[in-house]
Structure 1
């Protein structure tokens, strides 16, 4: 059985905790609002994979996936909408991806556990991937190979897929895997072999795919039926870390560090110390920083970054957004966004490429757009 690792305070010191007094270094104004109906909108995200579409984003809620363009005047222009034929479907998550020729794809999934691959050029479903035994809580795209995605599911597993060939390559489940729903998953930004998962068993797990990578390569050249591919189980993570005492519903890599969020009104930055050749559970972790988020005590609320991982935005159950300068030490709260119209829980945020636009999708079916206010030049 793999050893569970409990956190130590950062580098022999107490973790640095951010102040909730905004620095005011960037100011934002509500520019746009759009209602998508009565269903909650659970996910929203910009397309960072293709510079041509830097102001294009997508949302999902109910049985609908919608793409928009953020116009200079603050409006949100609908580009296309996909409506699932199953009226009972409820989409929880989406991710931008790309085919081998660079064609932009949108991947969405939710309650039914079916992964829909939407070709944004033809506006049609190109593939539907089936394998999970229950609903899918999150999808993430491998930034170095954007035809690879990973999914986190209520069936207590995460799965690695090749959406070009439709193959399920790896299943992260088994003896030392999650014991409850997997709520979030993320690829390491530059170590292509490494992922992190988290879930309702209160743990974050770090996994290595290094010894299984030949199967990833094989998935690109496979010519037989996808169902005949020799899918492999990955049962032992490098580390199982207990950083939180409740559900962990969002985890993201920040370089070699990890940010994770539970329902305890804070996001925690910590450092895992692992090696690919170690025995399972041999590593250690240090908690480095904490980012307070008041009224963020319900689960399934996801944070996001700009392209360069400078700003982190997270909503709360009161409709407020906290924007942190994520790489400052101690953390700096850049601003707190609120508006009398926005009172519903914010399920996810999206920060534009340069951080000048912040989006939020809400439990009440609304999406909101805040734009950075031009600051007057300082007098010399």
Structure 2
């Protein structure tokens, strides 16, 4: 797999490098192919908006290959812990890029990257906001998961006025802190993971980014997820994403990522009625589904030294391009898998849990994907730093899959390049 480390350093400028943990990173998803990619990073009180300069423009080095376009510092000072932990991108009607950030404060702040100003603050959650994501159907619609056990969908359109919250997912969903939220690529489903080990899937009503708020000012509430399970993981589920109609998820203290499918679920089928109540499995009650059946574990990926809470994988999955998954470990290493090569059964080099490289043949690769209980080691492991021993917290891929950025403790940022 042709992934290589290009930069590994602490983010900041020459006079004030950041030493706090960096917890989230995402590339701006609306950049044209000919434009140098832009990404945002949050951690502590800091929000960085950075641009990568492509090699043909300038040699990629920390002082001139990563340009800091904006450096926002959060003004809330009433929290003793590292404040910001999550971000997502949006844009306004004029096309100005907006970065939405959240953390220990229950507020979600909307920052205009072009003007450098805070333009809005979303208030509604009662406790910490742990994750943010943007609808693939409309950039003005974002979702947030919180310690108050709810997921809220927000509309950033100024026409919403003082009622930006469109929908609350609560009631019979997760009973403890929600840690991860993600949209299906079709935009009609949202999946979440939380501290009660539960993963929930919600079939969303059609959401109109231009719709005005209800006349009575009330917020729509959904009480029942259309699928929920506590059987896939046994610890905090802090990262869950769709891989097509399949699901990838990981939990603390398990040292693995699991690929699985929900029986009967297909995004090409009609969306279930919003008020459908999944039947109870009276034998255990740990899995409930409106789609019939339960779920099937398909593959498991080995992630050694990743017991820590709040360590997240990233998936690059675009049409007609090879899907790649990556995650950081607690010991300054980043792991990568070419998911398509597993299906092809091609000879490849994999690294064992002890870091030794091992050559596999096509038959062995096929055997791995035929056995859902066999842990698949990373196809490439990159040591990102010899000077700083840090945990990688999050990774993100550029729109074209050419660049990947990983961030972690002590303000560390690592840039990887890939031939596509």
**Interval of TM-score (by shorter of Structure 1 and Structure 2):** 0.7 to 0.9
Corresponding residue number in structure 1 for 2:310: 300
**Inter-partner Cα distance in structure 2 for 1:307 and 1:120:** 27
**SS of 2:379's equivalent?**
strand
**SS of 1:364's equivalent?**
helix
Corresponding residue number in structure 1 for 2:111: 118
**SS of 1:229's equivalent?**
coil
Matches within 5 A, 1:280-359: 280=278, 281-282=288-289, 283=292, 284-306=294-316, 308=318, 310-327=323-340, 328-329=342-343, 330=369, 333-338=378-383, 339-359=385-405
> Is 1:199 paired with 2:194?
yes
- Check 1:88–1:42 CA distance in 2 against 1; reply closer, same or farther (3 A cut): farther
Cα deviation for residue 30 of structure 1 reads: 3.5
Write out per-residue CA displacement over residues 75-95 of structure 1, whole angstroms, 9 at most, x where no aligned residue.
Answer: 211101111222356110001
Write out per-residue CA displacement over residues 328-357 of structure 1, whole angstroms, 9 at most, x where no aligned residue.
Answer: 333673311113134211111122233332
**Inter-partner Cα distance in structure 2 for 1:353 and 1:201:** 33
Which of 24, 29, 32 is the equivalent residue of 1:51? 32
Contact 2:302–2:377 at 8 Å: present in 1 too? no
Write out per-residue CA displacement over residues 219-270 of structure 1, whole angstroms, 9 at most, x where no aligned residue.
Answer: 6232789xx5321111101111221011100000111111111120111111
Matches within 5 A, 1:2-151: 25-36=1-12, 37-51=18-32, 55-71=37-53, 72=55, 73-74=59-60, 75-88=65-78, 90-151=83-144
Tell me, which stretches of 5 or more residues in structure 2 are unaligned?
13-17, 266-270, 279-287, 344-368, 370-375
Corresponding residue number in structure 2 for 1:237: 225
Q: TM-score, length-normalised on structure 2?
A: 0.76
**Inter-partner Cα distance in structure 2 for 1:202 and 1:286:** 17
> Is 1:163 paired with 2:156?
yes
**Inter-partner Cα distance in structure 2 for 1:98 and 1:143:** 12
Tell me, which stretches of 5 or more residues in structure 1 are unaligned?
1-24, 376-380
> Is 1:256 paired with 2:245?
yes
- Check 1:160–1:49 CA distance in 2 against 1; reply closer, same or farther (3 A cut): same
Cα deviation for residue 307 of structure 1 reads: 5.2
Corresponding residue number in structure 2 for 1:184: 180
Contact 1:34–1:76 at 8 Å: present in 2 too? no
**Inter-partner Cα distance in structure 2 for 1:194 and 1:108:** 22
- Check 1:318–1:63 CA distance in 2 against 1; reply closer, same or farther (3 A cut): same
Corresponding residue number in structure 1 for 2:258: 268
Contact 1:265–1:294 at 8 Å: present in 2 too? yes
Cα deviation for residue 32 of structure 1 reads: 4.3
**Inter-partner Cα distance in structure 2 for 1:80 and 1:220:** 29
Cα deviation for residue 42 of structure 1 reads: 0.8
Give the alignment's Cα RMSD to 1 decimal. 2.2
Corresponding residue number in structure 2 for 1:10: none
The aligned length equals 341
**Inter-partner Cα distance in structure 2 for 1:132 and 1:173:** 12
Corresponding residue number in structure 2 for 1:12: none
Contact 2:8–2:412 at 8 Å: present in 1 too? no
Structure 1 moving runs of 4+ over 4 Å: none
Corresponding residue number in structure 2 for 1:13: none
Write out per-residue CA displacement over residues 174-231 of structure 1, whole angstroms, 9 at most, x where no aligned residue.
Answer: 1x111110000011101x2211011000011001123xx3xx33x6232789xx5321
**Inter-partner Cα distance in structure 1 for 2:78 and 2:48:** 17
Which of structures 1 and 2 has the larger relative contact order (alpha carbons within 8 angstroms, sep 6+)?
1
**Inter-partner Cα distance in structure 2 for 1:195 and 1:369:** 29
